[in-house]
Amino acid sequence: MRLRRIAATALVAAGGLWASAAFAEETVVWWDFLGGGDGVRMKQMISDFNAAHAGKVKIDATTLEWGLPFYAKVQTSAAVGEAPDVMTYHASRIPLALTQDVLQEITPDDWSKMGLSSSDFAPATWDAVSSDGKQYAVPLDTHPIVLYYNRDLLKKAGMLGDDGRPKGMGSGAEFTATLKALKDSGVEFPLGSVTASGDFMFRTIYSFMCQQGGELQTGDEFLAGDNGQKLQNTLALLQGWTNDGLQSKYTDYPATVALFTSGKAAMMINGVWEVPTMTDLAKQGKLFDWGAVELPVVFDKPCTYADSHSFAIPKNQGKEMSAEKRSAVLEVISWMDKNSLFWATAGHIPAYKPVTDSAEYKAMEPNATYSPLTANMIFDPKSPLAGIAGPIFGVMSTYYVPTLNGEMDPAAAVEGIKEELNAL
């Protein structure tokens, strides 16, 4: 409740962009793709916003199906002038959106009116919503993958450090030894991973490629130079964990979460968006002592894949947005970012640095423990082929699933991926 009071009252007295406005109430049509725990929290934030701006601005919100259905609807709606006034958007989808001409630029004047600037965001997050020196969205958060862990099982295996975090986080050999110790202690699955979904495992694989200084796309070429070898190194490591019984095999997303929450898996690599699941179960007395930390450094340096939920303004063809409407939209975006402490309870890391620098955020766990990873993030390549539900995900999924489950040689997988991606 305290976080909700903070979200509902911060900046309200000042009134934001609308402190002295004398306009009639503006209705801002809003679309998002937020379901589950974060959707519940966003609905509360929208309610708080509407209460704070009664008679001035009202959000009329609709939640649509996540992924390709959402983006297809945005594209078709913008083409006929029926898109919303503001919408949530994955930063990874912006390059494709620009080729489709469905996003308006967030101009320097817009940023000034919102009271936001590049210094309020991590450089990687700011860059993720930028193209050719222009910004096309306002980051709300970063949502990376993290390592969830069961302190009780780690302690039993002698793999829990004095700091309450897993041991063996500094190298591939160390982390593999931690997994083996858990196996030897009787844990059925030392690590739960979504090995039945190459789309999801892209996040882990790209993180480990980045830990070697690798990149997926260089200019117009995929897996150029030694990047193919870095991908092969990653696939070989992960396949070895599966073959040695250290990682769950052919597990889909719900099964992976179930393995961890039931105590059958001692650790799990998953998105920060599962924090509400763990928090709620723990409050009900249905979960063990748990935590979440940045991914282990299994190669050369820390690096973690992330995307960003951001706010974008559609380019509605044949429908000009009035100055009053745009002011209302900017007030919505600004308020959401500046009041995103409550959004952090969804597990996401607020993009607005004054929030993550606050004492309230630093007291939130496990968020405060894993949030420093924002200094070590990698986003999708800036390509129309990349991003959530993009063609790159489809190609890689074809090869990742059999390879991770021990049915395809990593070198052969890399050759197939390289050939198909460059054919795109």
How far is 275 from 253, CA to CA, in rounded Å? 15
pLDDT at res. 178:
98
* CATH number for the domain that contains residue 25: 3.40.190.10
Q: What is the C-alpha to C-alpha distance for residues 365 and 352, in angstroms, rounded to an integer?
A: 18
Residues 174 and 226 in one domain: yes
Pair 35, 97 in one domain: yes
In sequence order, the 6+-apart residues with CB closer than 8 A to the CB of 24 are: none
Residues 70 and 86 in one domain: yes
Residues 42 and 178 placed together within one structural domain of the fold: no
Domain that holds residue 82: 2-140+308-374
Question: Are 269 and 227 members of one domain?
Answer: yes
In a domain, 111, yes or no: yes
Q: 40 in a domain, yes or no?
A: yes
How many domains are there within the chain? 2
Q: Do residue 196 and residue 136 come from a single domain?
A: no
Instruction: Give yes or no: residues 69 and 200 share one domain.
Output: no
Distance CA 101, CA 95 (A): 10
Q: Look at residue 391 in the predicted model and tell me its pLDDT.
A: 87
Q: What values do phi and psi take at 193, rounded to 5? A: -135, 155
Q: Is the backbone peptide bond immediately before 366 cis, with ω within 30 degrees of 0?
A: yes
Do residues 9 and 66 both lie within one domain?
yes
Token pair belonging to 23 = 């306009």
Residue 16's closest CA among 252, 281, 339? 339
**Is 384 among the domain residues?**
no
In a domain, 323, yes or no: yes
Amino acid code (one letter) for 395: V
Q: Yes or no: say if 182 and 153 are a contact pair by the CB < 8 Å rule.
A: yes
Structural domain includes residue 385: no
- Residue with the two structure tokens 């862990």: 149
Kindly state whether residues 203 and 270 are assigned to the same domain.
Answer: yes
Same domain (yes/no): 115, 190: no
Residue 331 lies in a domain: yes
Residue-level pLDDT at 387: 85
Tell me, yes or no, whether 47 lies in a domain: yes
pLDDT at 254: 96
**Distance between CA 287 and CA 263 in Å, rounded?**
9
Q: Is 259 inside a domain boundary? A: yes
- Pick left, alpha or beta for residue 306 (phi over 0 → left; psi -120 to 50 → alpha; otherwise beta): beta
Taking the CA of residue 249 as centre, how many other CA atoms within 13 Å lie in the half-sphere pointing to its CB? 14
- In single-letter form, the type of residue at position 19 comes to A
Residue 317: HSE in the Cβ half-sphere, 13 Å Cα cutoff: 10
Q: Is 94 exposed, middle or buried (0-12, 13-18, 19+ CB in 10 A)?
A: buried
Is residue 36 domain-shared with residue 108, that is, in the same domain?
yes
User: Do 36 and 161 have their domain in common?
Assistant: no
- pLDDT tens digits in sequence order for the chain, 424 residues long: 444 444 444 444 334 555 444 458 999 999 999 988 899 999 999 999 999 999 999 999 999 999 889 999 999 999 999 999 999 999 999 999 999 999 999 999 999 999 999 999 999 999 999 999 999 999 999 999 999 999 999 999 999 999 999 999 999 999 999 999 999 999 999 999 999 999 899 999 999 999 999 999 999 899 999 999 999 999 999 999 999 999 999 999 999 999 999 999 999 999 999 999 999 999 999 999 999 999 999 999 999 999 999 999 999 999 999 999 999 999 999 999 999 999 999 999 999 999 999 999 999 999 999 999 999 999 999 999 988 878 888 888 899 999 999 999 999 999 999 999 999 8
What are the φ/ψ torsions at residue 159 (nearest 5 degrees)?
-115, 20
Which token pair is 4? 């909700």
Calpha distance 316→329 (Å, rounded): 14
3-class secondary structure per residue, the chain: CHHHHHHHHCCCCCCHHHCCCCCCCEEEEEEECCCHHHHHHHHHHHHHHHHHCCCCEEEEEEECCCCHHHHHHHHHHHHCCCCCCEEEEEHHHHHHHHHHCCECCECHHHHHHHCCCHHHCCHHHHHHCEECCEECCEECEEEEEEEEEEHHHHHHCCCECCCCCECCCCCHHHHHHHHHHHHHCCCCEEEECCCCCHHHHHHHHHHHHHCCCCCCEECCEECCCCHHHHHHHHHHHHHHHHHCCCECCCCCHHHHHHHHHCCCEEEEEEEHHHHHHHHHHHHCCCCCCEEEECCCCCCCCCCEEEECEEEECECCCCCCCCHHHHHHHHHHHHHHHHCCCHHHHHCCEECCHHHHCCHHHHCCCCHHHHHHHHHHEECCCCCCCCCCCCHHHHHHHHHHHHHHCCCCCHHHHHHHHHHHHHHC
